[in-house]
Chains A and B, each alone.
Chain A
Amino acid sequence: MRVLTRLRHALSPLRAVALAYVGLMLLVLLLAPVISPHDPLTQDVANRLQSPGLGTHLLGTDELGRDILSRVVHGARVELLIALGATLLAMVLGTLLGLLGGYFGGLVEVLTMRVLVDVLLAFPPIILVLLAVTLRGPGTATLIVAMGVLFAPTFARIAYGQVISVKRLEYVEAATAFGAPTRTRLLGVILPNISAPLIVQVSLTIATAILLESGLSYLGLGVVPPTPSWGSMVAQGQRYLSSDPHVLLVPGAFVVLTILAFGLVGDALRSGLDPKSRNQR
């Protein structure tokens, strides 16, 4: 209950709107085929490049006459699936690395935190994903795995720092004294107690993943067409920028709003869950 109260206090009006938007996006993820007014791939060349307005195409059509709203809705689905998948993978991998490195120390720490984590952090993120795409070719699976590995170090560092600070505390020693096996101590005792900052990181990582994925799709190296994705819609729109800017601006706005919303929800979670955050005056 106390956590819920604190979270409510952390919820400024702006953050509440962001939370509602995130909820809406998750709904879109589940219901995309039901919500979307048209088929995202059906071409209607007679009605190409229509401006947004009240009518059959609320957000207008693109250069092949495809309904932009439907494409945005289906794009959201792909975008979120990849972002959620990569984040989940990163969380599991990273938390595991951090737990092991922090708890055992010594050689395990060197291998996990120094070798694996530091090396992965020695690349700008997008560069490693491009290396993976060169080897495997673009596609949803490549993206999820590459970004999952790439974002793992952030979770590892957080988990590592937390484990170091709690592993000598009484409740962990009590579990040891009662004969709990290492696995129980790590996953049953320590993990629940260090989960708050990891949960905060989930929301922020989703935002970063969307940023990265849309960028790759913009380059034509992410989601493979004809599957609609926000990044490739922006790339298409660039060709009609002077005559029909809406083809670019509509998907662009959704990328910005979605990243912003997940970022703000992350901020709210941080000030609600993490008593040490000193972002407030």
Chain B
Amino acid sequence: MFSYVLRRIGVGAGLVLLVLTLIFLALHLVPGDPAMLLLSQGDGASVTPEAVARVRTQLGLDEPLLTQYWQFLSGALTGDLGESFRNQQAVSEAIGERLPRTLELVGLATLIAVVVGVPWGALAARKGGWFDSLTSVLTSIGVALPVFVFGSVLILVFALNLGWLPAGGFAEWGEDPGRHAQVLVLPAIALAVGFASTVARMTRSAVLEMLHQDWVRTARSLGLSRRAVFRRYVLRNSLTPVVTTVGIGVGTLLGSTVLVERVFNYPGLSSLLVEAVTARDYPVVQGIVITIAVLFVSINILVDVLYGVLDPRVRR
């Protein structure tokens, strides 16, 4: 088990290195001078040479490519992600402030999706009939619902018409814990709907596959009740593919927060990303992309390790 975990971490570290290289190359592979590209607003307006020189120094574009690469890597690994073009704030500091809020949102959404999705999918597989058909239709819709449309509908119904919950915003836990919790509800639901549908679908097909295994029939013929076989064996064995789905899904959720945070005016990491993209504040964008990619890879390693815990056959 230990060597399996070590191997997974090794592969993950290699992947992170490649990811960093890709992000580094992105700036240099795009045709044209990166400094000019970042300064021009697409309207062909003239850019002052001083501004170009400033951007070049700030991004270290005057150094030889290998030196730049080394500085970029060592910076990324030690948490030095440069300074924002707009307000000279350290990028790592800005990320440190915003990241916990986004993680809280993603965590809550994942919890909702798993708590709703797994029992729902399992029930659909077990009951069959109209409930299964209904599930199939509802999950198709759930997967197709863009978070920004569904989020707006949630605001319309629960904030504007019923007035049960705030339409958006944010409150620090330390200042107003009640409001902090209230504000999280609608965005988390908006994020969770598509994810819960995916989890329900995956659970359904995994459970269906297990129900048709020979050992289920054997267990039944040995006198175990249908309920006991289902609870003790079928469900447990079905969970491994579901864990993978959840792992991939968390990464996708991380991406979807970009939209949800805008809909609900939630000041998390993703809204900082959108602000930075709009202002073409490259150091901030780059820092956030690195952070999210590293998080994404780490989640996948965690999932693989969990997979090994659940299914000893994987740990070869």
A is bound by B: yes
A interface vs B, CB < 8 Å? 14, 115, 118-119, 122-128, 130-139, 207, 211, 214-215, 218-221, 231, 234-235, 237-238, 241-242, 245, 248-249, 252, 255-256, 259-260, 263-264, 267, 278-279, 281
- In the bound complex, residues from chain B placing their C-beta under 8 Å from that of A128 are 289
- Cross-interface CB contact of B289 among A127, A136, A259, cutoff 8 Å: A127
Name 9 A/B residue pairs within 8 A (Cβ), A-sorted. Answer: A127-B255, A130-B258, A134-B280, A137-B280, A218-B148, A234-B152, A241-B160, A252-B149, A259-B144
Of all A-B residue pairs in the complex, the 3 with the closest CB atoms, nearest first, are: A124-B255, A252-B149, A260-B144
A167 to B64 CA separation, bound complex (whole angstroms): 45
Chain B CB within 10 A, most for which of A135, A220, A259: A135
Flag if B285 contacts A134 (CB, 8 Å): yes
Flag if A219 contacts B19 (CB, 8 Å): no
Within 8 A of A (CB), among B95-133: 128, 132
If A130-B289, A134-B277 touch, whether A219 touches B144 (CB-CB below 8 Å) is: no
B145 within 8 A of A: yes
- In the bound complex, residues from chain A placing their C-beta under 8 Å from that of B132 are 281
B49 within 8 A of A: no
- In the bound complex, residues from chain A placing their C-beta under 8 Å from that of B188 are none
B52 within 8 A of A: no
B41 within 8 A of A: yes
Shortest beta-carbon distance from A201 to chain B in Å: 15
By beta carbon, the residue of chain B nearest A258 is: B144
Flag if A123 contacts B259 (CB, 8 Å): no
B interface vs A, CB < 8 Å? 15, 18-19, 22-23, 26-27, 30, 34, 37-38, 40-42, 128, 132, 137, 140-141, 143-149, 152-153, 155-156, 160, 205, 208-209, 251-252, 254-256, 258-259, 262-263, 273-274, 276-278, 280, 282, 285-286, 289, 292-293, 296-297, 300
- In the bound complex, residues from chain B placing their C-beta under 8 Å from that of A126 are 255-256, 258-259
Shortest beta-carbon distance from A260 to chain B in Å: 4
Flag if B145 contacts A118 (CB, 8 Å): no
- In the bound complex, residues from chain A placing their C-beta under 8 Å from that of B292 are 123-124, 127
By beta carbon, the residue of chain A nearest B292 is: A127
If A119-B15, A219-B259, A281-B208 touch, whether A256 touches B289 (CB-CB below 8 Å) is: no
Flag if A131 contacts B146 (CB, 8 Å): no
A138 to B40 CA separation, bound complex (whole angstroms): 12
If A131-B23, A136-B37, A234-B148 touch, whether A220 touches B278 (CB-CB below 8 Å) is: yes
A56 to B175 CA separation, bound complex (whole angstroms): 52
Shortest beta-carbon distance from B69 to chain A in Å: 16
Chain B CB within 10 A, most for which of A139, A237, A256: A256
A263 to B139 CA separation, bound complex (whole angstroms): 11
Interface of B is mostly: helix
- In the bound complex, residues from chain B placing their C-beta under 8 Å from that of A130 are 258, 273-274, 277, 285, 289
A148 to B205 CA separation, bound complex (whole angstroms): 30
If A134-B276, A221-B274 touch, whether A248 touches B152 (CB-CB below 8 Å) is: yes
Flag if B19 contacts A207 (CB, 8 Å): no
Shortest beta-carbon distance from A220 to chain B in Å: 7
- Cross-interface CB contact of B27 among A135, A215, A231, A241, cutoff 8 Å: A135
Shortest beta-carbon distance from A122 to chain B in Å: 5
Flag if B255 contacts A133 (CB, 8 Å): no
By beta carbon, the residue of chain B nearest A131 is: B289
Flag if A122 contacts B293 (CB, 8 Å): yes
Flag if B277 contacts A218 (CB, 8 Å): no
- In the bound complex, residues from chain A placing their C-beta under 8 Å from that of B160 are 241-242
A137 to B39 CA separation, bound complex (whole angstroms): 10
Shortest beta-carbon distance from A150 to chain B in Å: 11
- In the bound complex, residues from chain A placing their C-beta under 8 Å from that of B208 are 278, 281
- Cross-interface CB contact of B282 among A134, A139, A279, cutoff 8 Å: A134
Flag if A124 contacts B34 (CB, 8 Å): no
By beta carbon, the residue of chain A nearest B16 is: A122
By beta carbon, the residue of chain B nearest A119 is: B18
- In the bound complex, residues from chain A placing their C-beta under 8 Å from that of B300 are 122
Flag if B254 contacts A124 (CB, 8 Å): yes
- In the bound complex, residues from chain A placing their C-beta under 8 Å from that of B258 are 126-127, 130, 215, 219
- Cross-interface CB contact of B259 among A118, A218, A242, A249, cutoff 8 Å: A218
A218 to B262 CA separation, bound complex (whole angstroms): 9
Shortest beta-carbon distance from A271 to chain B in Å: 12
Q: A122-B19, A134-B277, A281-B208 are in contact. List 7 more A-B contacts (CB 8 A).
A: A118-B18, A127-B255, A207-B144, A221-B278, A241-B152, A241-B160, A252-B152
If A131-B289, A252-B153 touch, whether A136 touches B30 (CB-CB below 8 Å) is: yes
If A122-B297, A220-B278, A248-B152 touch, whether A256 touches B144 (CB-CB below 8 Å) is: yes
Shortest beta-carbon distance from A217 to chain B in Å: 10
Shortest beta-carbon distance from A261 to chain B in Å: 9
- In the bound complex, residues from chain A placing their C-beta under 8 Å from that of B297 are 122
Flag if B293 contacts A259 (CB, 8 Å): no
By beta carbon, the residue of chain B nearest A241 is: B156
A96 to B23 CA separation, bound complex (whole angstroms): 23
A279 to B273 CA separation, bound complex (whole angstroms): 39
A113 to B19 CA separation, bound complex (whole angstroms): 14
If A124-B251, A124-B254, A214-B146 touch, whether A135 touches B156 (CB-CB below 8 Å) is: no
- In the bound complex, residues from chain B placing their C-beta under 8 Å from that of A136 are 30, 37
